[in-house]
Structure 1
């Protein structure tokens, strides 16, 4: 049994999914996703250009397609999840892996989410603050915020790796104030996700989630906004709505997964694997074809 961790939007790159397409079961899953979408995503994953691929309406779909393809490989190999979680949009992949959403509904919700979030318009951005504890970053965010220009902690990714999200002037003020940070890195995302600036997308997203057919999860799911495992379907539904503007408690999530089973990053990314190591948790990445051999050894051990 493994803990499945599904990456999110910030992991896109041109060429993503290439090794997965060499596995027939993954290629079939990618083709299924293309068929379910209003416009196939595979050509953009393969050839770019990167400026279109990182756009919100494409990036969330591209990451999800690769997540689902990697999941198909694990299923073919006979692995099962003891617990699942997904980073930001990756939470929809996790809900599919837990049996809450079928494939078509997963793809529909991801496409809906990406469209609604892109439709908000550019209201801000996100920056990773390195080398500071969460309490200090919260202080900086409060000091940098102004009326109509909020900045908040959007992602608690790992110890010493916190992402702030908000209006660009507020982000600039926070960057100037954070003289004690090791490094501050702008993220390649289209907006201030997981912040109050996403509020305009919430009503339609809530309607889409509440009307989506869902089943009781087969295994516990760790929602972003709680960081605690649950099999309560009503809670999972509301948590999925709340994470659009809410904080991603990823450090707590990784700790919960680690207590249950060895982790595997299910997608074409090493981002969550790196964050897990920062949190001193075990994780292997499916972006490396050799991971399947290492997984066999890890499970045996």
Structure 2
């Protein structure tokens, strides 16, 4: 048994999903998702242009489609998860993998989430701060923030890899203060996700989550905002809403998954496998052509 980890929107690129379309079960799943969407995503994944693909309204849908197609490949191979988690929007695929959401509900929710986040906020951004402990970045964020210009730790990706999210002036102040960071890099995102600047999207997102048909999970799910495994449906609903403005505690999340089973990054990305290794956790990526053979060997052993 393995822990299934699903990547988020920062992993999109033109050509994503190409290897999945060579597997009939994945190709069928991608076609099914295209039919459920208000606008098919596969042509944009295949040909771009990149500036449209990386926009929030498209990126979240694109990565979810690839996650779901990769999950179909694992299911065809006979693999079931022992525990699941997803990075940011990847949490929706994790809920599907755990049996909480059916396919149509998953697609509907991701399209709703992407649309709401695309129009919320404004004037914000995100930057990766490398080489500093999260406690130090929290101190810097508190010093850089000002009334009406928040900046917070949005993602704890790995030791020494923290993402801050907030108003552009506050981000600029933080960058000037962080003279002890090894590197600070702006992320190519549309706004300040996982920060207070997403608050405008919360009421409609909460309503969408409340209206969604959900079932009790078959396996534990580790929500981003808690980093703790749970099978409580109420907790999962609340965490899904809180995640919009709350912190992605990915270091804690992968630690919780690794304590139950070795991880597999399920999608067309190697990002989570790399972050997991930096956190001392075991994780293979399905984007590596040899992963399915390695999984079979581990099961046989």
Q: TM-score range by the shorter chain?
A: over 0.9
State the 1:296 CA deviation: 1.4
Partner of 2:266: 266
Mapped pair 1:153 → 2:153: yes
How far off is 1:64 after superposition? 0.1
Say if 2:121 and 2:200, in contact at 8 Å, map to a contact too: no
C-alpha offsets along residues 170-193 of structure 1, whole Å, 9 cap, x if unaligned?
111111110100111111111100
Alpha-carbon contact 2:5-2:266 (below 8 Å) kept: yes
How many Å apart are 1:95 and its aligned residue? 0.1
Aligned partners of 2:300 and 2:117: how far apart in 1? 42
1:174 matched residue in structure 2? 174
Tell me the TM-score normalized by structure 1.
0.99
User: Post-superposition shift, 1:122?
Assistant: 2.6
- Taking the aligned partners of 1:254 and 1:182, their CA distance within structure 2 comes to 24
The aligned counterpart of 1:222 is 222
Q: 1:72-221 counterparts in 2 under 5 A?
A: 72-221=72-221
Structure 1 residue ranges (4+ consecutive) displaced by more than 6 angstroms after TM superposition: none
Q: Work out the CA distance in 1 between the residues paired with 2:292 and 2:108.
A: 30
Partner of 1:280: 280
Q: TM-score, normalised by structure 2?
A: 0.99
- Indicate whether 1:294 and 2:294 are aligned: yes
Please list the CA deviations of residues 24-43 of structure 1 after superposition, one character each: whole Å capped at 9, or x if unmatched.
Answer: 00000000000000000000
User: In structure 2, what is the Cα distance between the partners aligned to 1:218 and 1:172?
Assistant: 45
Query: Is this contact kept in 2: 1:123–1:197, CA < 8 A?
Result: no
How far apart, CA to CA, are the structure 2 residues paired with 1:187 and 1:271?
14
Alignment of 1:2-41 (within 5 A): 2-41=2-41
The question of whether the paired residues in 1 share the 8 Å contact of 2:124 and 2:192 is answered with: yes
State the SS of the aligned residue for 1:281: coil
Specify the SS of the correspondent of 1:260.
coil
Report the alpha carbon displacement of residue 121 of structure 1 after superposing the two structures with TM.
Answer: 4.8
- SS of 1:75's partner is helix
| Helix, strand or coil at the partner of 1:118 | helix
Give the conservation status (yes or no) of the 8 Å contact 1:144–1:173.
yes
Report how far residue 48 of structure 1 moved.
0.4
Which residue is 1:248 aligned to? 248
Q: Could you tell me which runs of 5 or more consecutive residues in structure 1 were left unpaired when the two chains were aligned.
A: none
Distance 1:223 1:117 in 2: 19
1:153-176, Cα deviation, whole Å (9 max, x unpaired) = 000111111000000111111111
8 Å CA contact 1:151, 1:164 repeated in 2: yes
Deviation at 1:299, TM superposition (A): 3.0
Q: Distance in 2 between matches of 1:31 and 1:122?
A: 33
Count of residue correspondences:
301
Distance, in Å, in 2 between the alignment partners of 1:141 and 1:292 is 42
Q: CA deviation at 1:63?
A: 0.2
- Aligned equivalents of 2:197 and 2:299: distance in 1? 43
Question: How far apart in 2 are the matches of 1:91 and 1:170?
Answer: 28
CA distance in 2, matches of 1:195, 1:100: 26
Partners of 1:225 and 1:299 lie apart in 2 by 31
Q: Quote the residue 1:54 is aligned against.
A: 54
Give the Å deviation of 1:120. 1.2
SS at match of 2:220: coil
